[in-house]
Structure 1
Amino acid sequence: MHHADPPSLPEEVRPYLDELVQRSTAVCGPHLRSIFAVGSIALDDYRHGRSDIDVTMVVDPTLPAPAVHELAESLTHPTLPCPAAGLELVVYGSDFTASPSGNAGYLLNLNTGPMLPPCADFDSSGAQSFWYVIDRSIAYQSGRLLAGEPVRQVLTAPTQHDLFTALAASVREHSTAEGHLNDNRVLNGCRSAVFCRTGRWLPKRKAAQSIATSEAGFRSLVEAAVQSFERPRSAALPLPTAEVRTFLNWVAERVADAAKAA
């Protein structure tokens, strides 16, 4: 099985990702098709102490269900100590990823690590699908291969309809403020707005720079969000809730306009 070139990954997480690949290969054997990083690692925006490690895995649908549970046990922190804020791992069957979908569709959604509420979910039927649709779009554009087959050989991009539906749901979720840091709400909004303009996923801080430059009315809020994002999660700066909500309403309008034009 092909393995990634370690220098292409952030040095703080290379040994961890290598061990994750080894453990996954040991559990899944020939059923393992591909492992790739998404999120901040894929977009070259990983910040140690702030970012999660986001990993997607594609397996043959013939992988026995007990092996999926064994995989979760093998990778759960602290059985495999996570050096980042947390690991967000999603495992899909290759039959699901072969076609575009607006569903969550996973075999396993594992959240684990020192700063994440633990979760090991094996049933995607009740999941909020927008997280997974957006991650698959980012993966198709920029997924960083860790092992196995190239990303675009095992993953199909979401349709524009499904993607804009997911973006709208994401903005609504971040507008509630529940469970999300204010800086991350703003930066995710920047990234969504820039995607609507360009059709490309940018790192959060580059997307923020683009919005701060083009939208003077939001510049101070966006710059404050970037300043906060540079700090550890536990030291995030307060941002004015009303201004955050106004900004996200503006982002929602951009998503709606882009969806109509698509």
Structure 2
Amino acid sequence: MRRYLTDLVGVARDVLGDDLVGAYAAGSVGLGAYQPGRSDVDVALVCARPLDPDRKRRLVAGLRYEALPCPARGLELVVYTAAAARSGTPEPGFEVELNTGARMDFRVTWDADERPAADGRFWYGLDRSILHECGQALLGPPAAEAFADLSPADLRRLLVDALRWWLALPTPPGDGPAPGAEDAVLGACRSLAKVRHGRWLSKAEAGRRLLADDWAADAGEPAGLIERSIAARAGGPAPSGPEARAFQRRVLAEISGIAE
């Protein structure tokens, strides 16, 4: 993985030159929870000034899977200007976004204004908050200096938006294991752990943190659901879709109450 990240930064340097002022590993790599074969690689690049269309195209061409194979499920790359990274805004604010990989649908968004609301516009502010706290610098100053955090009010609002977005997705039919439902449960755990304890944690670590809380200890079956979801990430059976949705609704009610 280290070699891939080094090569990625090298390609970005070739395209952006001195305008590349930072590169940061985010997501599971930044949180110290990368799982080979399961996790994506999340990277944020920071450039000194807005990118023209030609450099956006050349950057995407150089970093897409066909040109630079990613050893993970896929690469999720977002490019920000230094001003946008330090703004603390909840808005997307990116220059270009790329999803590419052997097991990931190719997607490129050339401008933040093109991001459809139906696909969620909350991701980017939350990602920059995680970068501020946990990002690993591959190039440039520490992530805490390159990225500003969200205000508490904006953080809670985006977390509520994210949970509502997930709940609006179709629920897998039946009461049997639903692959991916464990991530829905533990993603909700991460949101609640951030609100309750003020720290971004990996999904599994957030689940374990809530298990130590009175909230989980008093919750009966939801506590068992968290334990099963953690085990599912190591190969155990996933919870059902209805179980995951009920848990997300419980977390949404608590975060929404705090936000109000």
Amino acid at match of 2:239: L
Contact kept? 2:20, 2:48, Cα under 8 Å:
yes
Q: 2:80 maps to which residue?
A: 92
Using a 3 Å threshold, how does the CA distance of structure 1 residues 18 and 178 change in structure 2: closer, same or farther?
farther
Amino acid at match of 1:175: L
Give the distance between the partners of 1:178 and 1:32, measured in 2 at CA. 40
Contact kept? 1:175, 1:185, Cα under 8 Å:
no
Give the distance between the partners of 1:230 and 1:108, measured in 2 at CA. 34
Amino acid at match of 2:28: S
Amino acid at match of 2:106: P
| Structure 2 counterparts to residues 183-262 of structure 1, below 5 A | 183-214=182-213, 215-216=216-217, 217=220, 218-231=222-235, 237-260=237-260
Q: 1:7 maps to which residue?
A: none
Give the distance between the partners of 2:104 and 2:168, measured in 1 at CA. 19
Q: Does 1:138 align with 2:130?
A: yes
Contact kept? 2:85, 2:147, Cα under 8 Å:
yes
Q: 2:103 maps to which residue?
A: 115
Contact kept? 2:122, 2:158, Cα under 8 Å:
yes
Give identity over the alignment, percent: 32
Q: Does 1:167 align with 2:159?
A: yes
Give the distance between the partners of 2:96 and 2:81, measured in 1 at CA. 10
Q: 2:176 maps to which residue?
A: none
| CA shift for structure 1 position 126 | 4.1
Q: 1:37 maps to which residue?
A: 25
Point out the more displaced range, 204-213 or 110-119. Answer: 204-213
Gaps of 5+ in 1: 1-12
Point out the more displaced range, 249-258 or 81-90. Answer: 249-258
CA RMSD for the aligned pairs?
1.8
Contact kept? 1:140, 1:151, Cα under 8 Å:
yes
Contact kept? 2:129, 2:147, Cα under 8 Å:
no
Q: Does 1:156 align with 2:155?
A: no
Q: 1:8 maps to which residue?
A: none
| CA shift for structure 1 position 86 | 0.8
Give the distance between the partners of 1:59 and 1:39, measured in 2 at CA. 20
Contact kept? 1:90, 1:110, Cα under 8 Å:
yes
Using a 3 Å threshold, how does the CA distance of structure 1 residues 245 and 135 change in structure 2: closer, same or farther?
same
TM-score in terms of structure 1 length: 0.88
| CA shift for structure 1 position 178 | 4.6
SS of the residue 1:118 aligns to: strand
SS of the residue 1:77 aligns to: coil
Query: Number of residue pairs matched?
Result: 244
Q: 1:4 maps to which residue?
A: none
TM-score in terms of structure 2 length: 0.88
Using a 3 Å threshold, how does the CA distance of structure 1 residues 123 and 62 change in structure 2: closer, same or farther?
closer
Contact kept? 1:136, 1:157, Cα under 8 Å:
yes
Residues 222-256 of structure 1 deviation map (CA, whole Å, 9 limit, x = unaligned): 1221122223xxxx834222221111111102211
Gaps of 5+ in 2: 172-178
Point out the more displaced range, 91-100 or 148-157. Answer: 148-157
Amino acid at match of 1:66: D
Contact kept? 1:186, 1:244, Cα under 8 Å:
yes
| CA shift for structure 1 position 60 | 1.6
Using a 3 Å threshold, how does the CA distance of structure 1 residues 94 and 147 change in structure 2: closer, same or farther?
same
Contact kept? 1:43, 1:203, Cα under 8 Å:
yes
Contact kept? 2:50, 2:95, Cα under 8 Å:
no
Give the distance between the partners of 1:224 and 1:126, measured in 2 at CA. 38
Give the distance between the partners of 2:184 and 2:83, measured in 1 at CA. 33
| CA shift for structure 1 position 62 | 4.6
Q: 1:25 maps to which residue?
A: 13
